[in-house]
Amino acid sequence: MAHRKKSKEAALCCEQTIRVRFSEVDSMQVVWHGEYMRYFEDGREEFGRRYRGLGYDDIARSGFLAPVVDATLQFKRPLRMNDEAVIETRYIDSEAAKICFEYTIRRSSDGEISATGTTMQVFVDQNYELCLLQPEFFSEWRNRWIK
Amino acid sequence: MAHRKKSKEAALCCEQTIRVRFSEVDSMQVVWHGEYMRYFEDGREEFGRRYRGLGYDDIARSGFLAPVVDATLQFKRPLRMNDEAVIETRYIDSEAAKICFEYTIRRSSDGEISATGTTMQVFVDQNYELCLLQPEFFSEWRNRWIK
Amino acid sequence: MAHRKKSKEAALCCEQTIRVRFSEVDSMQVVWHGEYMRYFEDGREEFGRRYRGLGYDDIARSGFLAPVVDATLQFKRPLRMNDEAVIETRYIDSEAAKICFEYTIRRSSDGEISATGTTMQVFVDQNYELCLLQPEFFSEWRNRWIK
Amino acid sequence: MAHRKKSKEAALCCEQTIRVRFSEVDSMQVVWHGEYMRYFEDGREEFGRRYRGLGYDDIARSGFLAPVVDATLQFKRPLRMNDEAVIETRYIDSEAAKICFEYTIRRSSDGEISATGTTMQVFVDQNYELCLLQPEFFSEWRNRWIK
């Protein structure tokens, strides 16, 4: 993924505790692997609330959308019914017109890693045309939180 | 539910075959009960294609939305991994400004009823204000298919 | 629904606060109606934690399953992206071999009711055979919490 | 991904047509990106039916599970309400104790690629212990279809 600026952005990270729901567990008695895309999104939404200005609402109000264009997931250990887990969401800064996150999901009971992953989002305008440059609202967000 | 007009609407019915997906099966090895709301919606969408003019797209193009305001579900026998089932969707006509359906889901292998249910939709405009009278496009749809 | 014993069971109620997730919102910009089945289940799971002994795990350990056999949902006002809501789950006691709940979901910001509903669960054994009498663990649970 | 044997396995590929469901579309009016994990799974299940012996059921009957341990997704163009799409699922053979697939999802109307991706599954026994060697049933499956 993107080259990292080893400065302030190390701090751009948030944690959120979730509990496995019955409907997320599959017939193998573990959380269905597809649910982790939702956990990652939960992490991003929490990040957007913690670091004001990068939530779906904020982006939409600025006239843009930020669809996920790339995702990777590595599953280490299954989560099971009633498990609690912590979603750690880390922002990876770059000069490009995109938003990159890394995720680590750990089982609360013992801290063991359940899954890791990444997502990359780009900016599109209301006509779904790709933005090649960082939208102004995003530059301002970076100025506020990164630089 | 609504009083039925015992005329032409008996014919307003469609069937759709679906196959249980792995992600729909819960840890009890049966289709999670919440998935049936999706099956009912699959049935309504198929109905909208079969009886042109009542799909989500058609309704939206006419300037309305038709949110579900009431649903009932009765679960008779579980569906399991790889089962095929038939969703039967029956339109229940009424003079009111609403759309009512009844559903029967049968396992294909033996015709046994897996679940039954009903939904009622009302019409709201773009401001989410309730329509007390049938929108014109819906009256026309009824003229075309019912009367 | 079941005749209510107007005694202690009025107290058998729990509340849980949830926040609408992006993936729960449909193209009409409101929570997809099918998600409320999940909210109800969230409520039941919280209830099972609050009133020890009635969670999926407890039931399974006792050698039974408690599938939902009937559900009703009434949708009053839509929930939207980022809304917080409170799921109130009320146990409705009966002498029959079933578990009945009523639900009320309120938007946190103004207390307005978003949806109400009911579920009924029966007991089946490991062969999915219906239990006509209350399983012993359930009688004990009722003795502990109701009587 | 794995080195490919350029022999018979080029043929190990299947296609499945799906139609976007209302509940899969998010508030940006496009299929929610997490749904593609389900589309990939739909593709694998179809593959398991086409090339007998590699379905979830077959694997379970042999005493194993094959959880997904790695997944990648690249999103190219959004799918929208009522779009039809074709899921192409290609088996990528290897001597290791794993099952690898590549996926391409194309919009039916114009053949444009909507998304691509990969999954890797490993074998675990009933105690969720990793199998370092290919289970016998899988060697036999490969003998039948690949060699």
Chain C contacts to D (CB-CB under 8 A): 22-23, 25-27, 29, 32, 34, 81
3-state secondary structure of D60: helix
Instruction: Chain C: give the shortest CA distance to residue D7, in Å.
Output: 42
What is the distance between the alpha carbons of residues B113 and B75, in angstroms, rounded to a whole number? 9
Closest residue by Cα to residue A60 from B78, D29, D47: D29
Asked if the Cβ–Cβ distance from D27 to C26 is below 8 Å, we say: yes
Q: What does the pLDDT look like over A12-57, one tens digit per residue?
A: 999 999 999 999 999 999 999 999 999 999 999 999 999 998 988 8
Indicate the average pLDDT of chain B: 92
Instruction: Chain B: give the shortest CA distance to residue A71, in Å.
Output: 20
Which of C22, C41, C81 is facing A23, going by the closest CB pair? C41
- Do A23 and B26 meet the contact criterion of CB atoms below 8 Å apart? yes
Asked if the Cβ–Cβ distance from D70 to A70 is below 8 Å, we say: no
Q: What is the pTM of this model?
A: 0.91
Compute the 3-state secondary structure of chain D and give helix, strand, coil in percent, each to the nearest 5. Answer: 25, 35, 40
Asked if the Cβ–Cβ distance from D23 to C32 is below 8 Å, we say: yes
Concatenate the DSSP letters of all residues of B62-130 into one string: TTEE--EEEEEEEE-S---TT-EEEEEEEEE--SSSEEEEEEEEEETTT--EEEEEEEEEE-EETT-PB
Task: State which residue of chain A sits closest to B34, comparing Cα positions.
Answer: A23
> What length does chain C have?
147
Asked if the Cβ–Cβ distance from C25 to D22 is below 8 Å, we say: no
Q: Which ranges constitute the DSSP H helices of B1-147? A: 35-50, 56-61, 136-145
E runs forming strands in chain D: 13-19, 68-75, 84-92, 98-107, 113-122
Closest residue by Cα to residue C28 from D81, B86, D10: D81
Q: What residues of chain C score a pLDDT lower than 50?
A: 1-9
Closest residue by Cα to residue A131 from A96, A103, A101: A96
Instruction: Chain B: give the shortest CA distance to residue C78, in Å.
Output: 9
Quote the percentage of chain D above a pLDDT of 90.
84
Neighboring chains of B (3 or more beta-carbon pairs < 8 A):
A, C, D
Q: What does the pLDDT look like over A108-118, one tens digit per residue?
A: 999 999 999 99
List CB contacts (< 8 A) between A38 and chain C.
Answer: 21, 23
Q: What does the pLDDT look like over B8-48, one tens digit per residue?
A: 445 799 999 999 999 999 999 999 999 999 999 999 999 99
Closest residue by Cα to residue C78 from B127, B45, D22: B127
Phi and psi at residue C40, in whole multiples of 5°?
Answer: -60, -40
Query: What angle (nearest 5°) sits at the alpha carbon of residue B105, between those of residues B101 and C43?
Result: 80
Chain B contacts to C (CB-CB under 8 A): 28, 30, 33-34, 37-38, 41, 65, 67-76, 78, 128
Distances (CA, A) of C32 to C26, C80, D132: 5, 10, 43
As a whole number of Å, the CA-based R_g of chain C is: 16
pLDDT of residue B1: 43
Q: What does the pLDDT look like over A50-104, one tens digit per residue?
A: 999 898 888 999 999 999 999 999 999 999 998 999 999 999 999 999 999 999 9
- Do B59 and B65 meet the contact criterion of CB atoms below 8 Å apart? yes
To the nearest 10°, report the CA torsion of A18, D32, D90, A29: 30
Q: What does the pLDDT look like over D11-22, one tens digit per residue?
A: 799 999 999 999
Asked if the Cβ–Cβ distance from A38 to D41 is below 8 Å, we say: no
What is the distance between the alpha carbons of residues B50 and B48, in angstroms, rounded to a whole number? 6
pLDDT of residue B112: 98
pLDDT of residue A57: 85
Asked if the Cβ–Cβ distance from B22 to A27 is below 8 Å, we say: yes
- Complex ipTM: 0.91
Tell whether the torsion through CA atoms of A5, A6, A11 and A17 is positive or negative: positive
Bridge partners for C14 per DSSP:
C89
What is the distance between the alpha carbons of residues D33 and D36, in angstroms, rounded to a whole number? 6
Which of A67, A74, A128 is facing D69, going by the closest CB pair? A74
pLDDT of residue B47: 96
**Model confidence band, residue A10 (pLDDT cutoffs 50, 70, 90):** low
Neighboring chains of C (3 or more beta-carbon pairs < 8 A):
A, B, D
**Model confidence band, residue D56 (pLDDT cutoffs 50, 70, 90):** confident
Give the distance, in angstroms, between the CA of residue D104 and the centroid of all CA atoms in the same chain. Answer: 10
pLDDT of residue A72: 98
- Do C140 and C147 meet the contact criterion of CB atoms below 8 Å apart? no
Task: State which residue of chain D sits closest to B24, comparing Cα positions.
Answer: D38
User: Quick one: average pLDDT of B134-145?
Assistant: 95
List CB contacts (< 8 A) between C33 and chain B.
Answer: 37, 67-68, 71
Closest residue by Cα to residue D40 from C80, C24, A37, B122: A37
Burial string for D25-51 (b: 16+ CB within 10 Å, else e) reads bbbbebbbbbbbbbbbbbbbbbbbebb
Task: State which residue of chain A sits closest to D114, comparing Cα positions.
Answer: A69
Asked if the Cβ–Cβ distance from C67 to B75 is below 8 Å, we say: yes
Instruction: Chain A: give the shortest CA distance to residue C7, in Å.
Output: 31
Chain position carrying tokens 């539910």: B1
Edge-to-edge strands, sheet with D13-19: A13-19, A84-92, A98-107, A113-122, A68-75, D68-75, D113-122, D98-107, D84-92, D13-19
